[in-house]
Amino acid sequence: DGGFNDALLDGLNPRQREAVEYRGSALLIIAGAGSGKTSVLTRRIAGLLQSREAWPSQILAITFTNKAAAEMRERVGALVGQQAEGMWISTFHSACVRILRREAENFGFTKSFTIYDSADSRALIKRIIKELDADTFGFTVSQASGKISKLKNELMDVESYARGANFNDPNEVMFLEIFRRYTQELARANAFDFDDLIGQTVYLFRAFPQVAALYQRRFRHLLVDEYQDTNHAQYALIRELTKPVKQGDLPLDLQGKGSLEPASLTVVGDSDQSIYAFRGADIRNIVEFERDFPRSKTILLEQNYRSTQNILDAANAVISNNFDRKDKKLFTTIGAGEKITGFTGYSGHDEAQFVADEITKLRDEGIAYKDIAVFYRTNAQTRALEEIFIRSALPYRVLGGTKFYERAEIKDAMAYLITVANPADPLALRRIMNTPKRGIGPATETALQSWADDHDVSLREAMRHADELGLGPKVTGAILGLTAALDEVQLTVDTAKPSDILAELLKKSGYVEALRASRDPQDEARAENVEELLAVTKEFSKNNPEGTLLDFLTEVSLVAAADDLDDTSGTVSLMTLHTAKGLEYEAVFLTGVEEDLLPHRMSANEPGGPAEERRLFYVGITRARQRLYLSLAMTRAQFGDVNVAMPSRYLQEIPADLIDWKQSPGMANSRGGTQPRALNARRDGSSWGTSLREAAGLPPAPVREKTVWASEVTGKVRDNGDLTLAAGDRIRHTDFGEGRVMEVTGEGAKRVAAVQFDTAGRKRLLIKIAPIEKL
């Protein structure tokens, strides 16, 4: 094809080249990790632009995170220049928000709809469960929200679910009522939850063929990365967008112009990396691709360009234990490389210390911090890692941890913004009504809400009628004052810069002032965070001079975990295995390779659970280019308890000669063996716990389930008995030094002290076992 220049096909292997050059209605590229799927997708886009087969506006490329989208845009940009800018490269969610902002008015929403994140939608469900007394039926928020999310991912709405419901089952009737109210409340609030973004776009296309036709005609090329993790709703969306355009559905001025052929579709994926089945992702989307798109072509890639052969051998060995998969073996020409390093720590801290020490060594070998990542299965594992990293002065960042936008003060400030952008949203309004405190208590809120319900208006509207409710003069004044302030700022939402709107709201509401005036030292930090948000809005306006408040809110609500990533940052990246998908690093530490963590306890008994966890382990291994470390701990602190941990079953699946085991430096009787004795012990059939403790030189302590028996830091049995602490007491901790008790919560053995240490920051300690003394 004469339109392609050499750079585009440079260095590609023949199969990759074929995948870039193929022109047909549907293409499936299916291949293992690191074989260049994402690279090929990027080059296909560049090829389409370069050969002028497509305008940038005719391409819709879907990635799994906004970060990946930005990266792809950059790579396309490097290949074809400025053209890349007008293109839709985004996540499913971002693409759908853009479509809905333009089209939601077709079905009763406005363009300023709010996007409820999972915390928001849980808050709403919690409220509904309470109102319906549904908890007496045993409904928990998690169950109800999990089930609603699942149904939405399957494109079931209340009516379709009701059609198949068993009305003799009171539980089902109750669930239906929760689902119905939830849907109603969202619509009243002019809000979509995360699942709706996809589901409602599908609904839009199905219910409004004239709208669908516009997008079917516009997008001539659809490209989807990580196709193995698409759920049914996302699949349906792809189907809608790849239908032939119906001439009659187009507006008159577009009829007879442009192609009516269905858009071409390219999907890339790896069924071995499907890790979102728990969220409704369906491997069948890949398996049945050839059936769904009969004229499709499939291209397989087998050469891996990322990892050494040792790393690939480990990955191949592990994944081959999954049944029901097409066998494919990855190979590389990079060479065997170093062996994998295995390490068995004595505790989570010991393991973290090993990771920190090895990172320092890698750094001395010339590997930059930004090329090193530490993975874990659960967020709780970061605590030990962070403590040791701080102590070792290692620069690090946690991707998708307690995110900036999840902090209470940031949510408060965001709620002010949402309230003026979308006055119909009662959730945001409730959040700020009495924040800072202005005397509008729960009873007043309830009175306002029932007035709103009685008059069928929004909560915000009810506030304007506060003087008709017979409330006290002070409260009435507070409500009307707040309403006036919000109304005034609201006039500027379409024109003013987001930073000016935020500054105005913070000033008028007295929010920052209240934080600054507070005597709680934490409030000073909170005020600074709010200042930081102000800086974020300014940064946004710099990058998007035309950006409105709505644009800003959209951007913020779509930040995904991996989006915190900043490759130039010179820090070690810490993240969960789920977040790691699609990324690559020179050196990877996969920590907590233990039973109950990997596979996770929750998934061990689920059908397909252990296989999905194995794929997660496979994803983790295959992120590494040169160096891979697998580590575990013999004891693991969780939920205030210290439990004996067992090596993960998956470790046994890696051929022993690929791993170079190092003993824990903290172990008393260190042996130079190739594996920790614990691993051999399992083959004897003896219990893990006993052997592990023995191997560690620990006394055969009576390990009782769920009983705290040791301080995880020192390994010594510690019991502070009935040590009584109260707010204001000064204490000394063996690791963190001196500090002041801020608050004591819980009872008996579960009493927890929140301590502000003089130098080590704020920590929560289990009083009974923490290595502390009262001063």
Does 270 participate in catalysis according to the annotation?
A: no
Is residue 307 involved in binding Mg ion (CB under 5 A)?
no
The active-site residue out of 266, 273, 579, 626 is 273
Query: Which of Mg ion, ligand ATP, none does 165 bind, CB closer than 5 to 8 A by kind?
Result: none
Closest distance of CB 37 from Mg ion, Å: 5
Query: Which of ligand ATP, Mg ion, none does 560 bind, CB closer than 5 to 8 A by kind?
Result: none
Question: Annotation-wise, does 142 bind a ligand?
Answer: no
Query: Which of Mg ion, ligand ATP, none does 12 bind, CB closer than 5 to 8 A by kind?
Result: ligand ATP
At 645 the three-state DSSP class reads coil
The active-site residue out of 225, 282, 563, 712 is 225
SS (H, E, C) 82-124: HHHHHCEEEEHHHHHHHHHHHHHHHHCCCCCCEEECHHHHHHH
Sequence-ordered list of residues with C-beta below 8 angstroms from that of 97, at least 6 positions apart, any chain: 115, 197, 554, 558
Does 37 participate in catalysis according to the annotation?
A: yes
Q: Across the chain, which distance is largest between two alpha carbons, in Å?
A: 85
Q: How far apart are the C-alpha atoms of 307 and 305, rounded to whole Å?
A: 6
Q: How far apart are the C-alpha atoms of 452 and 449, rounded to whole Å?
A: 5
Question: Annotation-wise, does 580 bind a ligand?
Answer: no
Question: Annotation-wise, does 37 bind a ligand?
Answer: yes
* Residue 35 vs 711, nearer CB to ligand ATP: 35
- Pair 212, 205: CB distance under 8 Å: yes
Positions of E strands within 389-462 = 396-398
Residues in touch with ligand ATP (CB under 6 A): 11-13, 16, 31, 33-39, 270, 273, 305-306, 582, 584
Q: Residues 576-605 vs Mg ion: string with x where CB under 5 A?
A: ------x-----------------------
Closest distance of CB 592 from Mg ion, Å: 25
Question: Annotation-wise, does 727 bind a ligand?
Answer: no
Q: Restricting to residues 24-53, name those near Mg ion by CB under 5 A.
A: 37-38
At 7 the three-state DSSP class reads helix
Pairing relationship of beta strands 737-745 and 730-733 according to DSSP bridges:
antiparallel
Query: Closest Cα to residue 34, out of 369, 230, 273?
Result: 273
* Residue 332 vs 663, nearer CB to Mg ion: 332
- Pair 275, 612: CB distance under 8 Å: yes
* Phi-psi sector, 353: left (phi>0), alpha (psi -120 to 50), beta: alpha
Closest distance of CB 578 from Mg ion, Å: 15
The active-site residue out of 328, 615, 623, 625 is 623
Query: Which of Mg ion, ligand ATP, none does 16 bind, CB closer than 5 to 8 A by kind?
Result: ligand ATP
Question: Annotation-wise, does 579 bind a ligand?
Answer: no
Does 353 participate in catalysis according to the annotation?
A: no
Question: Annotation-wise, does 32 bind a ligand?
Answer: yes
Query: Which of ligand ATP, Mg ion, none does 33 bind, CB closer than 5 to 8 A by kind?
Result: ligand ATP
Sequence-ordered list of residues with C-beta below 8 angstroms from that of 305, at least 6 positions apart, any chain: 34, 35, 36, 332, 334
Does 38 participate in catalysis according to the annotation?
A: yes
Dihedral sign computed on CA atoms, order 158, 160, 161, 163: positive
Query: Which of ligand ATP, Mg ion, none does 13 bind, CB closer than 5 to 8 A by kind?
Result: ligand ATP
Q: Residues 227-266 vs Mg ion: string with x where CB under 5 A?
A: ----------------------------------------
* Residue 92 vs 205, nearer CB to ligand ATP: 92
**Where is 141: in which H helix or E strand?**
helix 141-153
Which amino acid, residue 548?
Answer: T
* Residue-wise burial string across 88-113, b where 16 or more C-beta atoms lie within 10 A, e elsewhere: bbbbbbbbbbebbbebbeeeebeebb
Does 716 participate in catalysis according to the annotation?
A: no
* Residue 37 vs 768, nearer CB to ligand ATP: 37
Binding residues: 31-38
Residues involved in catalysis: 37-38, 225-226, 273, 623
Residues of this chain that interact with Mg ion (CB under 5 A) are 37-38, 582
Q: Enumerate the known binding-site residues for ATP.
A: 31-38
